[in-house]
Chains A and B, each alone.
Chain A
Amino acid sequence: MNNIKTIWEANKAIVSFTIMGLILLFVGMNQSWALALGIFNMSLISAIMALGVNIQWGYAGLFNVGIMGFAALGGVSVVLIAQQPVTEAIDAGGMKMFFALIMGAITIIGGIFLNRFGVNKWLTALLVIIGYLITRYYFSEAAELIEAVDPAITGYLGGFGLPVAFSWIVGGLAAAGAAWWIGKITLGLRTDYLAIATLGISEIILYVIKNEDWFVRGLKNVFGLPRPVPYEVDMQQSDWFQSLIAWLHKSELQLLTQSEQVERLGDYVREAAVVFVKLCYSGLFIAILGAFIILSNLALNSPWGRKVRAIRDNEVAASAMGKNIKRQHLQIFVIGSGIVGVAGALLVTYDGIFIPTAYQPLRFTFLIWVMVILGGSGNNLGSVLGAFIIWFIWIQSGPMGLWVVEMLGNNMQDGGALLEFIEERVHYLRLVFMGTILLLIMRFSPGGILPEKNKEL
C-alpha cells in the first residue's frame, strides 16, 4: 500500500495523463471517435486558456474574473480578420463610421491631453461632451446605414478577408491590449479591484458584441467562418482519401458484394472525414499548446522568470530589493490575457461560427478557474491536466445527470410532472456541481493534483 503511494507521488503527472488518455480511448471505442476527438480538441483549447490563467494566478496571484471577455475578444477578431468584407455595407456607412470612430478617438485623446495640460476642468468637460455628441450622432447614423444592408445575411461591415491564422495573433493582441488597460488602472491596488474590474470589463465587452449589430452582427451570429484545415465534404470527394480508407478496410470490404462495398465504403469515408478533420485540428492545437508551454517554461527559467518567482514567493522581500512589482504584474497579466485571447480565437475557428450568447461566465470564467485550481495552480502541466479532467466531466455530466433522472423515473410509479421538471432543469445543477468541486479542492487539497513546489496561496 505504501509502495503504491510512493510510486504515485513520484509519477503523478505521467499516471494521471495516462489515465485520462485511457478514458478518452474508452470513449472513442465505445461511443464514437468523433466524440472522443471532439472532447480532446475542446480540452486542448481549454488547456491553452487555463495556461493563460495559470500564468496570471499561479505566477503572480492575479485574480482574473473576466476570462470570458478576453476569450470573446479573441472570437471577435476571427470574424474581423477572416470574414470577407461586405462591400455594400462599407459603401453605405463605412466612411461615416470611420469618421465617427476617429471623432471618438480624438475626443478621448483630446480630453486626456487637455486634462494633463491643466486646461480648465469645466472647459475640458464641455469639449468632451460636445465631442461625444458629435461622435454619437454620426455613429448612430452610420450604424443604421450599415445594419440596413441585407440584414438577414450581412448587415455588418464584415472582416478583412485575411487568412484565419492572422486572427489568432490579432485575438491575442486585442485581449492583451484590454488587459493592459485594466491592469494599468487596477494593479497596485488591492486584489479585489482587479477581480471586480475584470468582471466588469468582460460583461461590457459582451454587451458591446451583442448590441452593436454593425460590428459583428450582434445576436444574429456569424456563420461560415473560414477554416485552417480541409472541409469534410472536400475530403469525402478526394480520391486519395477514398483509396486510403478503402485500403484501411481492405480485408473487411473484400468479403462484401459490389453494391454493399460502395455503401459501406461511403459510410467509412464520411466517418473518417470527420475524424480526419478533427485530427488536423488536434495537431494544430497540440502544436500551439506545446509552443506556449515550452515558451513559458523557458521564460520561467530566464532571469525574468527568476524575478517572477522571487516576487511570487515573497512580495515584501522582492519589493525591498527594488523589484518593481506593479510592472512585473502588469507584464504577467497582459501575457496571460493574450494567451486567453488566442485560445478564444482558436475556439471560434474550431466552431466555425461566432455565437455571442455562447459566452457564459460559467462556461468560460468559472470552468477555466476550476481547471487551474484542480490541476495545481502555478503548474503548467497541472493546468493542462485540469483542463482535460474538468472538460470531460463537464461534457459527460449533462448526459449522466439525465441518465440518473431517467433511472429514477423508471423506478417511480407516478411523479411524472416532477420528473419532467427535473429533467428540464437538471443542467443548472452543473453550476452547483462545479462550485462544489472548486470549494472541495480549495479546502482539502489547495495545491491541486500536481502542486507547484514552494507555492502558497
Chain B
Amino acid sequence: MSDSIDIINALALLTNFVILPGLSYGSQLALGALAVTLVYSILRFSNFAQGDSMAFGTMLVIFLSGYMINQGWTISGVPTALLAIPIAIIGMSIYLLLMDRLVYKHYRGIKIKQSIVGITASIGVMFITGGIVRFFLGASAQRFGDGERFIFSVREFKAFTGLQQGIALKTSQFLTITLAILLVAFLFYFLQKTKTGKAMRAYSDNKELALLSGIDPDRVVRITWLLVALLTTIAGTLYGLDKGFAPQQYHLLLLPIFASVIVGGIGSPLGAIAGAFLVAFSEILLTYAYKKFLIYLLPLSMHPSSLVQLIGTEYKYAISFVILVIVLLIRPTGIFKGKVIVDE
C-alpha cells in the first residue's frame, strides 16, 4: 500500500463497503417500512407481523424458484427468484387477504381501540406466520440466489479503472436498487394520480367523510393488502438475495423497519423512505471498521492500529433502537410530521 494520501481509493473503498450496501439495505428497509406505513394509515395499527410476512413471501419465492430451476424454466444470468416473484406475490396476497378476513376484519366493525387490538391480533398472526415458515423451511439460514453473482466484480473494476481499491456491484444490490426505485415510483404514482389511490388517501385522512363520499371501505382495505403483499414479497426476496434467508433475521427486521417508520413520521410514505435510509446508513456507518479507510487518508505515522469500529457488528439492532429512542425524545412525530392518529 502506498504511504501517501489517496482520496480516490478511499472513496472507492467507501463506495464498496458503505455506500452500495447502505443503498441496497436502505431500499429493502424502505419497502418494508412502506408496507407498515400503509397498514398503519388505512387500518390504524402497527403491523407486528411485517417481518414474518416478509419471511413468508420469501419462502414462497424459494419454493417457486426451486421448482422452476428443477423444470429448467430459467433465464441464464438472471436469478430465478426474480422470475418467481410475480406468482409469489399472488400467493402472498391470498395469504394476507385470508388473514384479514379471518382475523382483522371482525374488529373493524366494532367500536374498540383499533391500535391495541390490531397489535395483539398482528402478534398472533406474526407467530402463526413465523411458525408456518419455520415448519416448511426450518430455522437455519440458507441461500437461494442463482445466476450471475456480480454485475461487475472487484477484479473487473480494477482492470477497468486501474485503481488499487476495487468496487463490486452484486446482482442483488443492482436488483434491489432498481426494483425499489420502480416500485416506489409506481406506489407514488398510484397514490397521487389514480382514483383508487386518492380514495385510499382520503380514507386514511378522514374515514367518515370518505364513507360519505361513497368510497367503499372494504375495497380500500383489500387494495391496501394487495399493495402490502407486493411490497412485502419484493422486500423479503431482495433482502434474502442480498443477505441470505433466516427466519429469525426476518423477524428481527421488525426493529429497523419500525425505527424507519417512526423516524420518518408514521403514516407518511415519503418519511418511511427517508427513515429507512437514515437507519440503514447509521447502522452501516457505525459498525464499519474504518481502519483501511484511514490508512488511505492519513500519513503513515498516523495509521491506526485498531479496527476503528465505533460499535460491534453484533449490536446493529441496538442502533435502530437508539435512533428510535432519540426520535421519541426529540420529535415523536418524526421528520416528515407523520399523522398522529389518536387511539379511536
A318 within 8 A of B: no
Is A362 interfacial (CB-CB < 8 Å)? yes
Determine if B321 and A200 form an interchain contact, defined as CB atoms under 8 angstroms apart: yes
Mind listing 12 A-B residue pairs with CB under 8 Å?
A191-B343, A196-B46, A196-B262, A204-B321, A210-B314, A425-B136, A430-B131, A434-B127, A439-B103, A442-B121, A443-B103, A457-B117
Smallest CB separation, B73 vs chain A (Å): 25
A199 at the interface (CB under 8 A from B): yes
Q: Determine, out of A15-23, A182-190, A228-236, the stretch whose residues face the partner at the interface.
A: A182-190
Cα–Cα, bound, A227→B281 (Å):
47
Q: Is A432 an interface residue (CB 8 A)?
A: yes
Q: Which of B119, B135, B139, B328 contacts A189 (CB 8 A)?
A: B328
Q: Tell me if A190 and B128 are in contact (CB < 8 A).
A: no
Whether B120 sits at the interface, judged by CB under 8 Å, is: yes
Q: Tell me if B115 counts as interface (CB < 8 A to partner A).
A: yes
- The interface residues of chain B lying within 8 Å CB-to-CB of A392 are none
B123 proximity list for chain A (CB < 8 A)? 65, 366, 369, 438
Besides A203-B252, A425-B135, A428-B131, 15 new A-B residue pairs in contact (Cβ under 8 A), listed by A number? A190-B341, A190-B343, A196-B258, A196-B324, A197-B321, A199-B255, A203-B255, A204-B318, A362-B127, A373-B120, A431-B128, A435-B128, A438-B127, A439-B124, A456-B112
B97 located at the interface, meaning its Cβ lies under 8 Å from any Cβ of chain A in the complex: no
**Does B340 have its Cβ within 8 Å of any Cβ on chain A?**
yes
Contact of A432 among B48, B132, B332, B341 (CB under 8 A): B132
Q: Which of A168-222 contact B (CB under 8 A)?
A: 185-186, 189-193, 195-197, 199-201, 203-204, 207, 210-211
What residues on A are CB-neighbors of B252 within 8 Å?
203
What interface size band does chain A fall in? Answer: 35 or more
Asked if A61 is an interface residue, CB under 8 A from chain B, the answer is yes
B244 touches A (CB below 8 Å): no
A261 to B318, CA, bound (A): 62
Look across to chain A and name the residue whose beta carbon is closest to the beta carbon of B261.
A196
Contact call A436/B128, Cβ cutoff below 8 A? yes
Instruction: Tally B residues with Cβ within 8 Å of A.
Output: 51
Residue-wise, chain B 143-172 has the 8 Å CB interface mask toward A (1 for contact) of 000000000000000000000000000000
The CA-CA distance from A373 to B125 in the complex, in Å, is 16
User: Is B325's beta carbon under 8 Å from chain A?
Assistant: yes
Q: Which residues of B contact A373 (CB under 8 A)?
A: 120
Q: Chain B contacts of A362 at CB under 8 A? A: 127
A156 near B: Cβ within 8 Å?
Answer: no
Contact A439 B135 (CB under 8 A): no
B contact residues around A434 at 8 Å (CB): 127
* Residues 320-340 of A at the B interface (beta carbon under 8 Å): none
Q: Is A40 an interface residue (CB 8 A)?
A: no
A439 and B121 contacting across the interface, CB-CB below 8 Å: yes
**Complex-state Cα separation, A441 to B315, whole angstroms:** 37
- C-alpha gap A149/B127 in the complex (Å): 41
Asked if A298 lies at the interface with its beta carbon under 8 angstroms from chain B, I say: no
Contact A201 B321 (CB under 8 A): yes
Q: How far is the CB of A317 from chain B (nearest CB, A)?
A: 15
Instruction: Please tell me if B24 contacts chain A, counting CB pairs below 8 Å.
Output: no
Residue A354 CB within 8 A of the other chain: no
Q: Give 5 closest A-B pairs by Cβ, nearest first.
A: A431-B131, A435-B127, A435-B128, A432-B131, A200-B321
Chain A 430-457 near chain B by CB (<8 Å), digits 1 or 0: 1111111011001100000000000011
Is there a chain A Cβ closer than 8 Å to B72's Cβ? no
The answer to whether A366 and B127 have CB atoms under 8 Å apart is yes
Given contacts A191-B119, A192-B119, contact A442 B124 (CB under 8 A): yes
* Given A189-B332, A432-B128: A203 and B317 interface contact (C-beta under 8 Å): yes
Asked if residues B116 and A63 are in contact (CB atoms below 8 Å), the reply is yes
Bound-complex Cα distance A428 to B55 (A):
15
Closest to A193 in B: B328
Q: Write the nearest CB–CB distance from A335 to chain B, whole angstroms.
A: 20
Chain A: which residue is nearest B117 at the CB level?
A: A457
Contact of B106 among A426, A431, A443, A457 (CB under 8 A): A443
**Does residue B299 face the partner (Cβ distance < 8 Å to A)?**
no
Contact A204 B317 (CB under 8 A): yes
A248 contacts the other chain (Cβ, under 8 Å)? Answer: no
Q: Is A408 an interface residue (CB 8 A)?
A: no
Contact residues in A for B329 (Cβ distance below 8 Å):
185
The minimal Cβ–Cβ distance linking B38 to chain A, given in whole angstroms, is 15
Contacts of A430 in B (CB 8 A): 131
Taking CB atoms, residues of chain A closer than 8 Å to B22 are none
List residues of chain B with CB within 8 A of the CB of A429: 131, 135
A65 to B139, CA, bound (A): 22
B325–A185 contact, CB under 8 A? yes
Note all chain B residues with C-beta closer than 8 A to A192.
45-46, 115, 119, 266
The answer to whether B120 and A190 have CB atoms under 8 Å apart is: no
Contact of A457 with B320 at beta-carbon distance under 8 Å, contacts A438-B124, A439-B103 already known = no
Decide if B284 is an interface residue (CB 8 Å cutoff): no
A197 near B116 (CB under 8 angstroms)? no
On chain A, the residues within 8 Å of B126 by CB distance are: 435
CA of A435 to CA of B52, assembled, Å: 13
Residues in B314-338 with C-beta less than 8 Å from chain A: 314-315, 317-318, 320-321, 324-325, 328-329, 332
B127 CB to closest chain A CB (Å) equals: 4
Q: Mark A361-378, 1 if CB is under 8 A from B, else 0.
A: 010001001000100000
Which residue of chain B lies nearest to A443 when distances are taken between CB atoms in the complex?
Answer: B106
Complex partner residue of A197 from B138, B328, B341, CB under 8 angstroms: B328
A51, chain B: closest CB distance, angstroms: 19
B200 CB → nearest A CB, Å: 21
Complex formed: what's the CA distance from A438 to B315 in Å?
32
When the two chains form their complex, are residues A442 and B131 in contact, meaning their CB atoms are under 8 A apart?
A: no
**B134 interfacial by beta-carbon distance below 8 Å:** yes
Residues from chain A with a CB closer than 8 A to the CB of B342 are: 190
CA of A439 to CA of B126, assembled, Å = 11
Q: Mark B278-301, 1 if CB is under 8 A from A, else 0.
A: 000000000000000000000000
| B127, A207: Cβ atoms closer than 8 Å | no
Of A204, A366, A436, most buried by chain B (CB within 10 Å of CB) is A204
B21 at the interface (CB under 8 A from A): no
B318 in complex: contacting residue of A196, A207, A424, CB < 8 Å: A207
A residues less than 8 Å from B128 (CB atoms) = 431-432, 435-436, 439
User: Do B315 and A191 have beta carbons less than 8 Å apart?
Assistant: no
Chain A's closest residue to B103 (CB) is A439
Closest Cβ of chain B to A362, distance in Å, is: 7
B85 within 8 A of A: no
State A442–B116 Cα separation when bound (angstroms). Answer: 12
Cβ–Cβ < 8 Å partners of A425 in chain B: 134-136, 138
- Of the candidates A65, A200, A438, A443, the one whose C-beta lies within 8 Å of that of B324 is A200
Interchain CB contact under 8 A, A432 and B135: yes
Contact between A191 and B116, CB atoms less than 8 A apart = yes
**Least CB distance, A443 to chain B, in whole angstroms:** 6
Q: Which residues of A contact B214 (CB under 8 A)?
A: none
Q: How far is the CA of A443 from the CA of B252 in the complex (A)?
A: 27
